[in-house]
Protein backbone atom coordinates (compact mmCIF):
# COMPACT_ATOMS: atom_id res chain seq x y z
CA UNK A 1 0.00 0.00 0.00
CA UNK A 2 1.15 3.44 -0.76
CA UNK A 3 0.54 5.86 2.05
CA UNK A 4 1.82 9.36 1.87
CA UNK A 5 2.87 11.26 4.94
CA UNK A 6 2.05 14.90 4.80
CA UNK A 7 2.31 17.20 7.76
CA UNK A 8 1.56 20.83 8.20
CA UNK A 9 3.99 23.08 10.02
CA UNK A 10 2.17 22.87 13.32
CA UNK A 11 2.19 19.09 13.42
CA UNK A 12 5.85 18.97 12.32
CA UNK A 13 6.76 21.31 15.18
CA UNK A 14 4.85 19.09 17.59
CA UNK A 15 6.60 16.00 16.28
CA UNK A 16 10.02 17.67 16.68
CA UNK A 17 9.19 18.74 20.22
CA UNK A 18 7.96 15.24 20.98
CA UNK A 19 11.06 13.54 19.54
CA UNK A 20 13.36 15.80 21.53
CA UNK A 21 11.29 15.37 24.67
CA UNK A 22 10.08 18.96 24.67
CA UNK A 23 6.40 18.21 24.27
CA UNK A 24 4.72 20.57 26.72
CA UNK A 25 2.41 18.91 29.25
CA UNK A 26 -1.21 19.12 28.20
CA UNK A 27 -3.10 21.23 30.69
CA UNK A 28 -6.87 21.04 30.39
CA UNK A 29 -8.63 24.30 29.72
CA UNK A 30 -10.90 25.50 32.55
CA UNK A 31 -14.53 24.43 32.18
CA UNK A 32 -17.09 26.88 30.89
CA UNK A 33 -19.06 28.65 33.57
CA UNK A 34 -22.47 28.52 32.00
CA UNK A 35 -23.37 25.58 29.92
CA UNK A 36 -26.16 25.56 27.41
CA UNK A 37 -27.69 22.12 26.90
CA UNK A 38 -27.12 21.00 23.32
CA UNK A 39 -30.15 20.48 21.14
CA UNK A 40 -30.58 17.66 18.66
CA UNK A 41 -31.63 18.73 15.20
CA UNK A 42 -33.88 16.22 13.45
CA UNK A 43 -34.43 16.09 9.70
CA UNK A 44 -36.91 13.89 7.84
CA UNK A 45 -36.66 13.89 4.06
CA UNK A 46 -36.25 11.60 1.08
CA UNK A 47 -37.02 8.38 3.00
CA UNK A 48 -34.57 9.01 5.79
CA UNK A 49 -34.42 10.37 9.29
CA UNK A 50 -31.33 12.25 10.43
CA UNK A 51 -30.31 13.58 13.84
CA UNK A 52 -27.43 15.98 14.38
CA UNK A 53 -25.90 17.09 17.65
CA UNK A 54 -22.75 18.94 18.65
CA UNK A 55 -21.53 19.52 22.19
CA UNK A 56 -18.64 21.48 23.63
CA UNK A 57 -17.62 18.56 25.88
CA UNK A 58 -16.46 18.88 29.49
CA UNK A 59 -13.14 20.76 29.34
CA UNK A 60 -12.91 22.92 26.20
CA UNK A 61 -13.83 26.60 26.32
CA UNK A 62 -15.08 26.73 22.75
CA UNK A 63 -16.66 24.37 20.25
CA UNK A 64 -14.50 24.20 17.12
CA UNK A 65 -16.64 21.49 15.55
CA UNK A 66 -19.32 22.31 13.01
CA UNK A 67 -22.19 20.13 11.84
CA UNK A 68 -22.75 20.02 8.10
CA UNK A 69 -26.36 19.94 6.89
CA UNK A 70 -27.45 20.68 3.34
CA UNK A 71 -29.76 19.12 0.77
CA UNK A 72 -29.45 15.39 1.57
CA UNK A 73 -25.98 16.26 2.85
CA UNK A 74 -24.84 15.45 6.39
CA UNK A 75 -21.49 15.54 8.11
CA UNK A 76 -19.03 17.09 10.52
CA UNK A 77 -16.02 19.41 10.40
CA UNK A 78 -13.55 19.50 13.29
CA UNK A 79 -11.47 22.66 13.20
CA UNK A 80 -7.97 23.25 14.51
CA UNK A 81 -5.77 26.30 14.93
CA UNK A 82 -5.21 28.94 17.59
CA UNK A 83 -7.27 32.07 18.32
CA UNK A 84 -10.42 31.73 16.22
CA UNK A 85 -8.74 29.59 13.60
CA UNK A 86 -10.48 26.32 14.47
CA UNK A 87 -13.99 27.77 14.44
CA UNK A 88 -13.28 29.80 11.32
CA UNK A 89 -12.00 26.74 9.47
CA UNK A 90 -14.82 24.36 10.42
CA UNK A 91 -17.55 26.96 9.86
CA UNK A 92 -15.95 27.97 6.54
CA UNK A 93 -15.80 24.35 5.38
CA UNK A 94 -19.42 23.78 6.40
CA UNK A 95 -20.78 26.92 4.74
CA UNK A 96 -18.63 26.51 1.65
CA UNK A 97 -19.57 22.90 1.05
CA UNK A 98 -23.29 23.40 1.69
CA UNK A 99 -23.50 26.33 -0.73
CA UNK A 100 -21.32 24.72 -3.41
CA UNK A 101 -23.40 21.53 -3.45
CA UNK A 102 -26.78 23.23 -3.30
CA UNK A 103 -29.00 22.29 -6.24
CA UNK A 104 -26.37 19.88 -7.64
CA UNK A 105 -26.96 16.28 -8.58
CA UNK A 106 -24.87 14.14 -6.16
CA UNK A 107 -21.73 12.70 -7.81
CA UNK A 108 -18.13 11.91 -6.97
CA UNK A 109 -16.91 14.66 -9.31
CA UNK A 110 -19.12 17.32 -7.76
CA UNK A 111 -17.95 16.31 -4.30
CA UNK A 112 -14.28 16.32 -5.29
CA UNK A 113 -14.59 19.73 -6.94
CA UNK A 114 -16.37 21.18 -3.90
CA UNK A 115 -13.76 19.86 -1.44
CA UNK A 116 -11.06 21.38 -3.66
CA UNK A 117 -12.79 24.75 -3.76
CA UNK A 118 -13.41 24.79 -0.01
CA UNK A 119 -9.78 23.90 0.62
CA UNK A 120 -8.58 26.64 -1.68
CA UNK A 121 -10.81 29.24 -0.02
CA UNK A 122 -9.60 28.41 3.49
CA UNK A 123 -5.98 28.25 2.34
CA UNK A 124 -6.22 31.73 0.79
CA UNK A 125 -8.00 33.05 3.87
CA UNK A 126 -5.17 32.04 6.15
CA UNK A 127 -2.56 33.37 3.70
CA UNK A 128 -4.29 36.74 3.87
CA UNK A 129 -4.97 36.86 7.61
CA UNK A 130 -2.00 36.12 9.85
CA UNK A 131 -4.21 35.52 12.88
CA UNK A 132 -5.67 32.49 11.05
CA UNK A 133 -2.28 31.04 10.14
CA UNK A 134 -2.16 27.29 10.73
CA UNK A 135 -5.91 26.80 10.71
CA UNK A 136 -7.45 23.75 9.12
CA UNK A 137 -10.31 21.36 9.55
CA UNK A 138 -11.40 17.81 9.04
CA UNK A 139 -14.38 17.36 6.75
CA UNK A 140 -16.39 14.16 6.47
CA UNK A 141 -19.77 14.03 4.77
CA UNK A 142 -22.35 11.74 3.22
CA UNK A 143 -24.38 13.08 0.30
CA UNK A 144 -27.35 11.05 -0.89
CA UNK A 145 -28.89 10.72 -4.32
CA UNK A 146 -31.96 8.59 -4.96
CA UNK A 147 -29.96 5.36 -5.03
CA UNK A 148 -26.45 6.13 -3.81
CA UNK A 149 -24.49 7.56 -0.92
CA UNK A 150 -21.44 9.63 -1.85
CA UNK A 151 -18.81 9.96 0.86
CA UNK A 152 -16.16 12.67 1.01
CA UNK A 153 -13.53 12.57 3.71
CA UNK A 154 -10.38 14.36 4.87
CA UNK A 155 -8.88 14.12 8.37
CA UNK A 156 -9.67 12.04 11.45
CA UNK A 157 -13.40 12.50 11.76
CA UNK A 158 -15.10 9.26 10.78
CA UNK A 159 -17.93 7.77 8.77
CA UNK A 160 -19.40 4.50 10.02
CA UNK A 161 -22.11 2.30 8.55
CA UNK A 162 -24.45 0.00 10.45
CA UNK A 163 -25.89 -2.43 7.88
CA UNK A 164 -27.55 -5.80 8.50
CA UNK A 165 -26.29 -5.83 12.09
CA UNK A 166 -22.69 -5.17 11.07
CA UNK A 167 -21.04 -1.94 12.21
CA UNK A 168 -17.92 -0.81 10.37
CA UNK A 169 -15.77 2.25 9.91
CA UNK A 170 -16.03 3.23 6.25
CA UNK A 171 -13.29 5.89 6.22
CA UNK A 172 -9.58 5.68 7.01
CA UNK A 173 -8.29 8.16 9.59
CA UNK A 174 -5.74 10.57 8.15
CA UNK A 175 -3.77 10.64 11.36
CA UNK A 176 -0.18 9.84 12.23
CA UNK A 177 -1.11 6.90 14.45
CA UNK A 178 -3.51 5.45 11.88
CA UNK A 179 -0.81 5.68 9.18
CA UNK A 180 1.65 3.93 11.50
CA UNK A 181 -0.94 1.31 12.37
CA UNK A 182 -1.61 0.64 8.66
CA UNK A 183 2.14 0.26 8.14
CA UNK A 184 2.25 -2.26 10.98
CA UNK A 185 4.43 -0.05 13.16
CA UNK A 186 1.83 0.39 15.90
CA UNK A 187 -0.76 -2.06 17.19
CA UNK A 188 -4.38 -0.94 17.38
CA UNK A 189 -4.10 -0.82 21.16
CA UNK A 190 -0.92 1.33 21.00
CA UNK A 191 -2.57 3.67 18.52
CA UNK A 192 -5.58 4.16 20.81
CA UNK A 193 -3.44 5.48 23.65
CA UNK A 194 -0.60 7.12 21.74
CA UNK A 195 0.42 10.60 22.96
CA UNK A 196 0.40 11.85 19.35
CA UNK A 197 -2.98 10.44 18.39
CA UNK A 198 -4.30 13.95 17.69
CA UNK A 199 -1.76 14.68 14.94
CA UNK A 200 -3.53 14.55 11.60
CA UNK A 201 -1.79 14.04 8.28
CA UNK A 202 -4.43 15.61 6.04
CA UNK A 203 -6.70 18.56 6.64
CA UNK A 204 -8.82 20.98 4.66
CA UNK A 205 -7.25 24.43 4.31
CA UNK A 206 -3.68 23.73 5.41
CA UNK A 207 -2.13 23.23 1.98
CA UNK A 208 -2.69 24.61 -1.49
CA UNK A 209 -3.84 21.26 -2.83
CA UNK A 210 -5.97 18.57 -1.25
CA UNK A 211 -6.31 14.83 -1.60
CA UNK A 212 -9.92 13.86 -0.77
CA UNK A 213 -11.01 10.29 -0.11
CA UNK A 214 -14.17 9.66 -2.12
CA UNK A 215 -16.42 6.62 -1.98
CA UNK A 216 -19.81 5.49 -3.23
CA UNK A 217 -22.18 3.04 -1.55
CA UNK A 218 -25.65 1.86 -2.43
CA UNK A 219 -28.52 3.19 -0.37
CA UNK A 220 -30.32 0.43 1.49
CA UNK A 221 -33.38 0.38 3.71
CA UNK A 222 -32.50 0.05 7.37
CA UNK A 223 -28.93 1.37 6.98
CA UNK A 224 -27.66 3.81 9.58
CA UNK A 225 -24.78 6.16 8.80
CA UNK A 226 -22.80 7.83 11.56
CA UNK A 227 -20.49 10.75 10.88
CA UNK A 228 -18.64 11.94 13.98
CA UNK A 229 -15.67 13.90 15.26
CA UNK A 230 -12.86 12.34 17.34
CA UNK A 231 -14.42 13.81 20.47
CA UNK A 232 -16.76 10.82 20.25
CA UNK A 233 -14.42 8.09 19.04
CA UNK A 234 -11.64 9.11 21.41
CA UNK A 235 -13.95 8.68 24.41
CA UNK A 236 -16.29 5.84 23.44
CA UNK A 237 -15.40 2.43 22.00
CA UNK A 238 -16.78 1.30 18.63
CA UNK A 239 -18.61 -1.48 20.48
CA UNK A 240 -20.44 0.96 22.76
CA UNK A 241 -21.24 3.25 19.81
CA UNK A 242 -22.71 0.30 17.92
CA UNK A 243 -24.80 -0.78 20.91
CA UNK A 244 -26.30 2.70 21.28
CA UNK A 245 -27.09 3.09 17.58
CA UNK A 246 -28.54 -0.41 17.23
CA UNK A 247 -30.95 0.00 20.14
CA UNK A 248 -32.30 3.52 19.61
CA UNK A 249 -34.05 5.91 17.27
CA UNK A 250 -31.52 8.35 15.80
CA UNK A 251 -32.63 11.30 17.91
CA UNK A 252 -32.20 9.38 21.16
CA UNK A 253 -29.01 7.73 19.89
CA UNK A 254 -27.43 11.12 19.18
CA UNK A 255 -28.12 12.23 22.74
CA UNK A 256 -26.83 8.98 24.22
CA UNK A 257 -23.62 9.11 22.15
CA UNK A 258 -22.83 12.62 23.36
CA UNK A 259 -23.68 11.61 26.92
CA UNK A 260 -21.36 8.59 26.67
CA UNK A 261 -18.50 10.78 25.38
CA UNK A 262 -19.02 13.24 28.24
CA UNK A 263 -19.05 10.39 30.75
CA UNK A 264 -15.87 9.08 29.15
CA UNK A 265 -14.15 12.37 29.98
CA UNK A 266 -15.50 14.76 27.34
CA UNK A 267 -12.00 16.07 26.72
CA UNK A 268 -12.84 17.34 23.25
CA UNK A 269 -15.80 18.77 21.37
CA UNK A 270 -18.26 16.03 20.40
CA UNK A 271 -20.23 16.01 17.15
CA UNK A 272 -22.47 13.34 15.71
CA UNK A 273 -24.65 13.14 12.62
CA UNK A 274 -26.82 10.04 12.33
CA UNK A 275 -28.67 9.22 9.12
CA UNK A 276 -31.08 6.28 9.06
CA UNK A 277 -32.78 4.88 5.98
CA UNK A 278 -36.33 4.22 6.98
CA UNK A 279 -37.81 0.81 6.32
CA UNK A 280 -40.50 0.80 3.64
CA UNK A 281 -43.99 1.41 5.03
CA UNK A 282 -46.15 -1.73 5.02
CA1 LIG B 1 -11.58 17.12 17.80
Quote the ligand 1 centre to 268 CA distance (angstroms): 6
- How many whole angstroms separate alpha carbon 252 and alpha carbon 241? 13
Quote the ligand 1 centre to 156 CA distance (angstroms): 8
- pLDDT recorded at residue 192: 87
Phi-psi group of 12: left, alpha or beta (phi > 0 → left; psi -120 to 50 → alpha; rest → beta): alpha
Quote the ligand 1 centre to 252 CA distance (angstroms): 22
- pLDDT recorded at residue 145: 96
Q: Which residues surround ligand 1, an ion (CB under 5 A)?
A: 78, 229-231, 268
- pLDDT recorded at residue 245: 98
Quote the ligand 1 centre to 19 CA distance (angstroms): 23
Quote the ligand 1 centre to 206 CA distance (angstroms): 16
Quote the ligand 1 centre to 135 CA distance (angstroms): 13
Quote the ligand 1 centre to 38 CA distance (angstroms): 17
- pLDDT recorded at residue 38: 82
- pLDDT recorded at residue 11: 57
Task: Compute mean pLDDT per 10 residues along the chain, 282 residues long, and list them.
Answer: 48 59 55 66 94 97 97 97 90 98 98 98 95 96 97 98 97 95 93 89 96 98 98 97 98 98 97 92 52
**In sequence order, which ranges of the chain are alpha helices (DSSP H)?**
9-19, 85-101, 108-128, 176-182, 188-192, 230-233, 238-247, 250-263
Quote the ligand 1 centre to 75 CA distance (angstroms): 14
Quote the ligand 1 centre to 166 CA distance (angstroms): 26
- How many whole angstroms separate alpha carbon 94 and alpha carbon 91? 5
Q: What is the dihedral of CA 197, 202, 208, 211, to 10 degrees?
A: 170
Quote the ligand 1 centre to 219 CA distance (angstroms): 28
User: 177, 186 in Cβ contact below 8 A?
Assistant: yes
Quote the ligand 1 centre to 280 CA distance (angstroms): 36
DSSP letter string over 31-83? PPSS-PPP--EEEEETTEEEEEEEE--SS-SS--EEEEEETTEEEEEEEE-TT
The model's pTM is 0.86
- pLDDT recorded at residue 4: 41
Quote the ligand 1 centre to 77 CA distance (angstroms): 9
Amino acid sequence: MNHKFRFNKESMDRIKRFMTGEEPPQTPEPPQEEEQPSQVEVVREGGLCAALLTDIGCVRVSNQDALVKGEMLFGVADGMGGHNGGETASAGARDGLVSLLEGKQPSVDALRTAFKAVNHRLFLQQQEDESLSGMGTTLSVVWLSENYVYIGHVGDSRVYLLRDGEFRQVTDDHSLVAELERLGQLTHEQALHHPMKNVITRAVGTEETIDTDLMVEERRKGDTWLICSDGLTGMVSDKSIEAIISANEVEKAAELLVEAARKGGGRDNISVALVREEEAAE
